[in-house]
Amino acid sequence: MRDALRKANRIVVKIGTNLLARDGGLDVEAMGRFCDQVASLLQAGKQVLLVSSGAIGMGAMELGIESRVTEIRMRQACAAIGQPLLMHQYRECFADHGVTIAQVLITRYVLNNRRTYLNLQASVETLLSLNVVPIFNENDSIAVDEINLAFGDNDRLSAMVASKIDADLLIILTDIDGLYDGDPKNDPHARRIAVVPKITDEVFSWAGTPGSTFSTGGMKTKLLAAEIAASAGCSIVLAHGNEKNVLPRICEGEDIGTLFLAGKRLSARNRWILNSAPRGTIWIDEGAVSALRRHKSLLPPGIVGVEGFFDSGEVVAINDIAKAVTAFDSEELRKLMGHHTADITSIIGSKRRDEVSLPEDIVFLD
């Protein structure tokens, strides 16, 4: 099963706060070891994208704060202070290998919006073609949860990057040597799981809280991340960042950490649809559901309800079974629902096409 990992060419590596923070500051030696390993993967001809946490923790430590930062404004301030400290150190460590780095700060909005996503994709592809290592983090200073801008944790951010940038392998490095069948902090009998073929409710029931003061995600967000990446056809390995030479060894197929098996590989467009946060919901009747299941288009007569406000071209949920790109906006659909396609022109004044969503614009969640 691990043999497939040897063929992985485009690899996203996520490094958690725990691994980069040391009493009162950045663990420069640890960062140096990660950079050495990334450099050896580059030497082996792989493309590597880093997702690095630690901005909030570094910022807090710079300000002498020792407890968890919870207030949003303080988290934003700490991230703004800590991010350049992180990047400065990455630059120093990679310079030893003659490797150039780039900072890429993103928000959830950037990935969900097709235009900004395509811009991001173009710039990342350019960086990779220049053999530069892009280092991603959430743009914490501007991404706030309430307006649906934030990922909130870098586990999911790394999975979205892996999915949308078409990576073969996502490696999540943390401070534990894999997924256990119980939270090791509370359950001394918990055992490491070597391979997870499918992320079921039982697997989620094993996840406990984060391991350190400045960490955000904990095991739950790592499982959510693995789910996102696996559904995009990307393999995931969760491993301890302090395991010697962990990155090259994973890429050589060694049994380290927990491997989450990749699901079926979807087209880039379908992955984008699947991983976009829906802007609203189109509710459809049973007849329409079975038509969609038979790869037919979604037409106005099958629509029984429209929730939310969205534009044409945006991703919406179809009941709770699928996501799709809609060719009509929410106002138009409220007028068109339940009507025959022949009436589209008389109802909304212009006719673009009959189909609300074509089969290739619809992705089922199961």
Binding-site sequence positions for ATP: 14, 174-175, 216-222
In terms of CB distance, is 240 or 339 closer to ligand ADP?
Answer: 240
Strands 21-22 and 101-106: unpaired
Number of residues engaging ligand VHF in binding (CB under 6 A)? 17
- Ramachandran area for residue 238 (φ above 0: left; ψ -120 to 50: alpha; else beta): beta
Strands (E), 270-341: 280-284, 303-308, 315-318, 322-325
Instruction: Please state the closest distance from residue 306 (CB atom) to ligand VHF, in A.
Output: 35
Measure the CA–CA gap between 342 and 354, rounded to whole angstroms: 8
* Given 36, 166, 175, 254, the residue binding ligand ADP (CB under 6 A): 175
* Given 34, 57, 112, 278, the residue binding ligand VHF (CB under 6 A): 57
Instruction: Please state the closest distance from residue 222 (CB atom) to ligand ADP, in A.
Output: 7
218 binds ligand ADP (CB under 6 A): yes
212 binds ligand ADP (CB under 6 A): yes
Q: Give the contacts of 244 (CB within 8 A, at least 6 positions apart).
A: none
Measure the CA–CA gap between 218 and 210, rounded to whole angstroms: 4
The region of 29-37, 65-73, 153-161, 185-193 touching ligand VHF under the rule CB under 6 A is: 153-161
Residue nearest to ligand ADP (CB): 16
Q: Is 364 helix (H, G, I), strand (E, B) or coil?
A: strand
- Residue 32 site contact among ligand VHF, ligand ADP, none (CB < 5 to 8 Å, cut-off depends on kind): none
CB atoms within 10 A of CB 73: 10
Angle at 205 between CA 147 and CA 179, to 5 degrees: 95
State the binding site: 14, 53, 140, 154, 174-175, 216-222
* Given 47, 76, 89, 154, the residue binding ligand VHF (CB under 6 A): 154
Q: Is 273 helix (H, G, I), strand (E, B) or coil?
A: helix
216 binds ligand VHF (CB under 6 A): yes
The region of 97-105, 116-124, 212-220, 251-259 touching ligand VHF under the rule CB under 6 A is: 212-220
Do 155 and 120 meet the contact criterion of CB atoms below 8 Å apart? no
In terms of CB distance, is 210 or 302 closer to ligand ADP?
Answer: 210
Q: Give the contacts of 87 (CB within 8 A, at least 6 positions apart).
A: 101, 103, 135
206 binds ligand ADP (CB under 6 A): yes
215 binds ligand ADP (CB under 6 A): yes
Measure the CA–CA gap between 68 and 25, rounded to whole angstroms: 15
Instruction: Please state the closest distance from residue 86 (CB atom) to ligand VHF, in A.
Output: 7
Strands (E), 146-250: 169-174, 195-196, 235-240
158 binds ligand ADP (CB under 6 A): no
Instruction: Please state the closest distance from residue 55 (CB atom) to ligand VHF, in A.
Output: 3
Do 245 and 266 meet the contact criterion of CB atoms below 8 Å apart? no
76 binds ligand VHF (CB under 6 A): no
- What does the binding site for ligand ADP look like in residue numbers (CB under 6 A)? 16-18, 174-176, 179-180, 182-185, 206-208, 210-212, 215, 217-219
- What does the binding site for ligand VHF look like in residue numbers (CB under 6 A)? 16-17, 53-57, 79, 137-138, 140, 153-155, 215-217
